Amino acid sequence: MGRKRKKPFYENVKIEDIGAEGKAIAKVGDMVVFTKLAVPGDVVDLQVTKKRKRYQEGIVKAYKVYSQDREKAFCEHFGVCGGCKWQILPYQKQLFYKQKQVEDQLSRIGKIELPELSPILGSENEKFYRNKMEFTFSNKRWLSFDEIESEDEIKDPNALGFHVPGLFDKVVNIEKCWLQADPSNQLRNFIYEYALEKELLFFDIREQKGFLRTLIIRTSSTGEIMVIVSFYYEDTVAREALLNTLKERFPEITSLMYVINQKGNDTITDQEIKVFAGRDHIFEEMEGLKFKIGPKSFYQTNSSQAYELYKITRDFAELNGTETVYDLYTGTGTIANFVARKAQKVVGIEYVPEAIEDAKLNAEINGINNTSFFAGDMKDVLNEEFIKQHGRPEVVITDPPRAGMHADVVQTIISMQPEKIVYVSCNPATQARDLAMLDSLYQIEKIQPVDMFPHTHHVENVVMLRKRLD
């Protein structure tokens, strides 16, 4: 049996760039080495953990020189919880690399002619910008190195926080999260202390046992709050005691809900979610329009920046009130209802039936009578018969999931030949692939990157395409 080769260890390597998925890039000779928790200008020692033909991956073992661009992380949980990985990069630099990511992926993957990109639109709020957070209860708290090395007994193995990246059964106990405004932190910490005091069992994901499972907190720009507590099994006395205490301690909660989830995973979209107190929804508001947000509803998680994103989408559509608009992957109909005032008719299509019911309700709440919504798989619903029935669109707005559009959907759009396409994407790589398929008939006129998630590598991008004249 051959001896296992040691993986390389590189000393005094300079971080040169940031690439896809926010990974820091170093070069050792001709070899590209990806790492994390480093910024361009850092000089580090790297231990390679993964070797491939064209690249390697490694972890920083020592920082020899800190980059002038590096900032001190503002969160005490930085580097462990896995979120907000770009805290060490000044916000303007974050925007620079996000813009570069969009440009690189559209040109490298799309290989099509591009106009000059508009400067990325930064988020007005760099902290406390999320309107939805999900926290996990666990009886296997992530232990620091000092705790592991210490001979002291670990008195509290429980946590309420975020999974450690790559370790499905380890959860970081969060003291303060900078992503969601108060009372999010007060709610989470109160429930955590209450659970410890009452000796409630935190969930064990390996053994599939324990009482408390997950906590979801949703807030809105209208000041409304939704709290959903997920339990693994029913214990009426313990459940009602916790929820009653929560209701008394936080009377500002608009919607207090719970779910009994005995599945192997934490998702609750296929579970019955019950109201304990208040309503089964909260409202979001945008430009005078009200949007009902239920426990399973999708809504952009950065409310104020979502408004900017939708305004750009509407502007790119250049509506004059005479158009039929198709809004593909409409979700809860937010974009469709938002642009409806400036169109003759808007048709929204979405895979999730519950989302379509929300879309219809949102239209009704706002007195919008020129939208219609349909549920089903996009590639099956959007056929010639559907187009004949609802009219050929002058404008198509599409906002697909990260995987982008199915090739059949792209071909259907091409066959419909709308005058304009507005493509909203949370993944410029798959967007570039789809734009390449549209290139034969459509020319890109405008590109506008938008930052929805400060301190992460994620970026949204809006592209406007116009049908070629020749």
Active site residues: 426
DSSP state of 241: H
DSSP state of 144: P
In terms of Cβ atoms closer than 10 Å to its own Cβ (0-12, 13-18, 19+), residue 47 is middle
**CA–CA separation, 196 and 173 (whole Å):** 13
Residue 172: closest CA among 191, 159, 153: 159
**CA–CA separation, 332 and 363 (whole Å):** 10
**CA–CA separation, 51 and 7 (whole Å):** 8
Residues 45, 62 contacting (CB under 8 angstroms): yes
Contacts of 216 (CB under 8 A, 6+ apart): 132, 133, 134, 135, 226, 227, 228, 230, 268, 295
Task: Please compute Rg for the chain using Cα positions.
Answer: 24
**CA–CA separation, 1 and 275 (whole Å):** 62
Taking CA atoms, 314 is separated from 320, 370, 420, 421, in Å, by: 11, 16, 12, 11
**CA–CA separation, 359 and 353 (whole Å):** 10
The residue with tokens 């991956």 is: 57
Contacts of 224 (CB under 8 A, 6+ apart): 254, 255, 282, 283
Residue 335: closest CA among 364, 382, 299: 299
**CA–CA separation, 190 and 257 (whole Å):** 17
> Do you find a cis peptide bond into 90, omega within 30 degrees of 0?
no
